[in-house]
Amino acid sequence: MPITTCVFDAYGTLFDVAAAARQCASEPGREAFAAKWQTVATDWRLKQLQYTWLRALADAHTDFWTVTQNGLDYALEASALDHDAELRERLLALYWQLQAYPEVPAMLEALKTRGFNTAILSNGSPEMLDGAVKSAGIAAMLDEVISVEDVHVFKPHKSVYDMVTARFNCVPSEVLFVSSNCWDACCAAGNGFFTTWVNRGHEPMDRLPWQPQKTLQDLTLIPDIASAN
């Protein structure tokens, strides 16, 4: 069946998760952080994801804002910056205002012009996602913003992906799912979605039972992929 619905992961896919640390590092008086911001940003994102996986496996769900704070605390301690409470608060505040990647607004607008349903499917809490969507100015281009809080378990649990077909009353083959996380795109493919991995970092493919059907360097070609399938 043809694609009717285009669904996007949020953090790292539509929104630049390194933007908070990058912006903070550029502010006056942040020289100590500026020397380590890239390491902090990498560790923060990695631990944020790892804590979602571990909590899902341990049946110990919490909201994404908690694991975001936990990941930052680990990253700051690993870089010997955990003594700076003001830095922590500034980074967390900036995370609510993440920048969208430059091609996102035009890409979403093209999908809506061509008649596709559009949605976010994210680990993020509803409040976090609402802040990011409003900050990026893309609310009018999205039909749904779906959070894992509706099922109380993080990706890649099957119940998360099942929310898409339930919300749009469609079958998995009608869904184009897009993520910057290879594991996410792979697991969504295992759920029957047509998937695209946005590999901005030129990383190797994850070794999982499934693979995304397409790999791109950014989101520009998503409307063409949706129209062709």
Q: Which residues of 150-172 are buried (b: 16+ CB within 10 A; e: fewer)?
A: eeebbbbbeebbebbbebbebeb
What number of H helices and E strands is found in the chain?
A: 10, 6
Q: Which residues of 100-115 are buried (b: 16+ CB within 10 A; e: fewer)?
A: bbeebbebbebbbeee
Q: Tokens for 159? A: 């119940």
Q: Tokens for 96? A: 């609510």
- In the residue annotation, 9 being an active-site residue is answered as yes
For the chain, the C-alpha Rg in angstroms (whole number) is 17
Global pTM reads: 0.95
How large is the average pLDDT for residues 186-195? 98
Going along the chain from its start, the domains and CATH numbers come out as 5-15+99-228 (3.40.50.1000), 19-95 (1.10.150.240)
Dist CA 175 CA 227 (whole Å): 12
Q: Of all residues in the chain, what percent carry a pLDDT higher than 90?
A: 98
| Per-residue pLDDT tens digits for 36-68 | 999 999 999 999 999 999 999 999 999 999 999
Catalytic residue among 9, 16, 43, 184: 9
Exposed, middle or buried: residue 28 (CB in 10 Å: 0-12, 13-18, 19+)? Answer: exposed
Q: What is the model's pLDDT at position 229? A: 86
| Per-residue pLDDT tens digits for 76-119 | 999 999 999 999 999 999 999 998 999 999 999 999 999 999 99
Q: What is the model's pLDDT at position 113? A: 97
